[in-house]
Structure 1
Amino acid sequence: MAFLRLSGWEQAQMALLAGDASTRCYLRLTGGPDHQRAILMDADPQTGDTQHAFVQIAGYLTAAGFSAPRIFAADIAQGFVLLEDYGDGLFAKILAYAPAQEAVLYRAAADCLAALHRQPAAPGLLPASADVMAKLIDPAFEWYAAKATSENMAKAKIATVALLGASLRRHASQCSVTVLRDFHAENLIWLPERTGICRVGLLDFQDAVVGHPAYDLVSLTRDARRDLGPGVAALTTQHYLSQSPVEPAPFLDATAVLSVQRNLRILGIFVRLAFEAGKTRYLDLLPRVWDHMLYDLAHPDLSDIARVITDNLPAPDSKLLTKLKAACPQTPTP
């Protein structure tokens, strides 16, 4: 590969790593210059999944004192980025065998978010306004509802977007901080040899926007991929609030409405991944996503949205999951 030759890594050994919900491919390189390791991130430029944003935001985070991977080399036009290898200490992997560490890791993640929110927002990011966020739930209807039922959901979609937009404007209109958007246990790496906020290695931040401070805390505490231990979500939120100038009650209102927005969108995104990319493992996560959404739909100010959603969208029970899996293209899940 010409990129590796020009970067001085052509002699390195390569091993494919597990991918994520994107179209990117990751390779671990060993035996590089001075026996270094690195990660080669490869995104096909034709997909529009450009690496430019990753490089830009990594530079912002590093300059602000956070642990974002160092960039060793990049060819943006070809979609290649060679970056620092943080190892295999994903929060999710650590907690699978050391669940007693959960409170410690989540407290560190909250420290990281609080510190990030004390920084000026990264330049050049798009604002995640209430109207933009409301429209981002389209996949819930275009994919989840469309594959789950034959009912016409046009009116339900219009009503949900309108009601959600109004709730977002009331409770979560503030666009003031860098929002990484996928701040959860499979994108955070524990670096215990470092200190302070640098113990939390950050990944998958190329879709960052300027948005509300509660959004990434929602990503962390309403995780689509794992259940948190009893009380951990509340303790993590309290720890964040202890370091933030925000008023707790309005912040918790914002948390509820942003959770509904995020989890509605995820319902559709996960079904799209199953049908378009053969990643059927994401279907098994739908019940947890649904439960997160229902939990926050219980907020008193979201009763109208709750009624529209529960009257129109079917719950992802075992019967529906079986139906969705049977309808998916027979492509092996990576």
Structure 2
Amino acid sequence: MINSRKTQLTDWVNQQLRQLLSEPSISVDLTTVSGDASFRRYFRAEIAQQTFIAVDAPPENENSELFVEVAGYLREAGVKSPEVLAKNYDKGFLLLEDFGDSLYLPRLLSLQAGGLDAISEYQVESLYKSAISALIKIQTNVNKERLAPYDREKLRSEMQLFEDWFCGEYLKLKLTDGDRELIANTFSFLEDAVLGQTQVAVHRDYHSRNLLILDEGRFPKDAGPGIIDFQDAMAGAYSYDLVSLLRDCYIRWSPELVEMLALHYYQLACEAGLIEGVSISQFLRDFDLAGLQRNFKVMGIFSRLCIRDNKPQYLADIPEVTQYFLEVACKYEEMAPFLDWFETNVLLNAKAKLNLES
């Protein structure tokens, strides 16, 4: 079935390129670029020194119409999302502008591995500040009313993945009624904290694997990052994308650098009128608590990807997420009862299982 879809996609891409480039004899093969945590697959088509991205997004699993809509909102907001060159919603096929392969993550890992001197630290900060500037544009210019609300039901369903998939399916914990009540109360606290924040357009996966360094030969030097994987955007908490970016599941930075960059965002957001009346202390609390909600979600999703979708590579990133969770949760007395339970009932089991499977 997968090979059949690739054949269909190849035929469709050739039809579109013949029309787009006015070349009736075009015949290209597709090379795999990547898959991601969803059912989408990405391929590259190359013809006459031009490249394009072909997307296979099975319509029973993926919403290509929403992808195209959000891509348009982002481009209207002045940030770089790929132009949609052709689409077939019935088949789940898209042809996109190609931003290349220079993801933030490998560049950041390379800079980090070399040891941060003044030059490399400046380069790291520049990449993040560029991403933060793009985030401010999204939050300022994308009308959140065009997006579905990141409401209590959605927040709870995401955190429930922690209980169902991380604790249940992955760790095989036998939760008592008291355990479930404690978990539910903790979820309610975080829902209240996130819903109480200023609501803006939220990418929901704004991190180093979804941002690209654009080729200065093709794009203006100040274009900012190329932004991908945005189709799940919703209207939610202003701090959500920021904490996704700075407390990234895939790369860790010192608390000092994270706070410096967070405060850089705070200054820009205040200047843009996004968070009027929010003190620095309240901002840092908002940032922390949105991060905890995301940590619950990610522990659950990564477990589900391993068990249900046969993608065990995501388990390698769970320890980083739990470490973020422990470092932040201990700062808030409202989290103390859950943290005690987590350290006693979950953490040792998780460490033993993850070490065994790694």
Report if TM-score (shorter chain) is over 0.5: yes
Sort the Cα spacing of 1:145 and 1:192 in 2 relative to 1 into closer, same or farther, 3 A: same
Letter in 1 for 2:331: H
Distance 1:79 1:227 in 2: 35
Q: Which residue number corresponds to residue 53 of structure 2?
A: 39
Q: Which residue number corresponds to residue 319 of structure 1?
A: 352
Larger radius of gyration: 2
Q: Which residue number corresponds to residue 126 of structure 1?
A: 148
216, 221, 229: which one aligns with 1:204 = 229
Distance 2:172 2:267 in 1: 44
Distance 1:157 1:128 in 2: 23
Q: What does 1:222-233 correspond to in 2, within 5 Å?
A: 222-229=247-254, 231-233=256-258
Letter in 2 for 1:287: P
Q: Which residue number corresponds to residue 285 of structure 1?
A: 317
Distance 2:264 2:349 in 1: 33
- How far has the Cα of 1:224 moved from its partner? 0.9
Sort the Cα spacing of 1:249 and 1:196 in 2 relative to 1 into closer, same or farther, 3 A: farther
The yes-or-no answer on 1:66 pairing with 2:106 is no
Letter in 2 for 1:23: F
1:179–1:211 CA contact under 8 A, matched in 2: yes
217, 231, 240: which one aligns with 2:265 = 240
Letter in 1 for 2:13: L
Residue 41 of structure 1: SS of its match in structure 2?
Answer: strand
26, 37, 44: which one aligns with 1:21 = 37
Structure 2-normalised TM-score? 0.83
Letter in 1 for 2:70: I
- How far has the Cα of 1:214 moved from its partner? 0.2
133, 155, 165: which one aligns with 1:111 = 133
Q: Which residue number corresponds to residue 293 of structure 2?
A: 261
Distance 1:167 1:225 in 2: 23
1:15–1:28 CA contact under 8 A, matched in 2: yes
Distance 2:28 2:301 in 1: 35
Distance 1:63 1:139 in 2: 34
Residue 86 of structure 1: SS of its match in structure 2?
Answer: coil
1:130–1:173 CA contact under 8 A, matched in 2: no
- How far has the Cα of 1:164 moved from its partner? 2.5
Letter in 1 for 2:75: T
151, 159, 170: which one aligns with 2:174 = 151
> How many aligned positions are there?
322
Sort the Cα spacing of 1:315 and 1:56 in 2 relative to 1 into closer, same or farther, 3 A: farther
Letter in 2 for 1:106: Y
- How far has the Cα of 1:314 moved from its partner? 2.9
Sort the Cα spacing of 1:105 and 1:153 in 2 relative to 1 into closer, same or farther, 3 A: farther
Q: Which residue number corresponds to residue 137 of structure 1?
A: 159
Kindly report the root-mean-square deviation, in angstroms, between the aligned alpha carbons of the 2 structures.
2.3
Q: Deviations over 1:166-188 (max 9, x none)?
A: 34324542352110000000100
1:297–1:305 CA contact under 8 A, matched in 2: no
Unaligned runs of 5+ in 2: 1-7, 19-25, 113-119
Letter in 2 for 1:81: L
Sort the Cα spacing of 1:5 and 1:30 in 2 relative to 1 into closer, same or farther, 3 A: closer
Percent identical pairs in the alignment equals 27
Q: Deviations over 1:126-168 (max 9, x none)?
A: 1112453133211111111112134225543343233332343
- How far has the Cα of 1:196 moved from its partner? 7.2
Distance 1:169 1:54 in 2: 29
Structure 1-normalised TM-score? 0.88
1:153–1:312 CA contact under 8 A, matched in 2: no
Distance 1:255 1:112 in 2: 18
66, 79, 84: which one aligns with 2:92 = 79
Residue 142 of structure 1: SS of its match in structure 2?
Answer: helix
The farther-off stretch of 171-180 and 71-80 is: 171-180
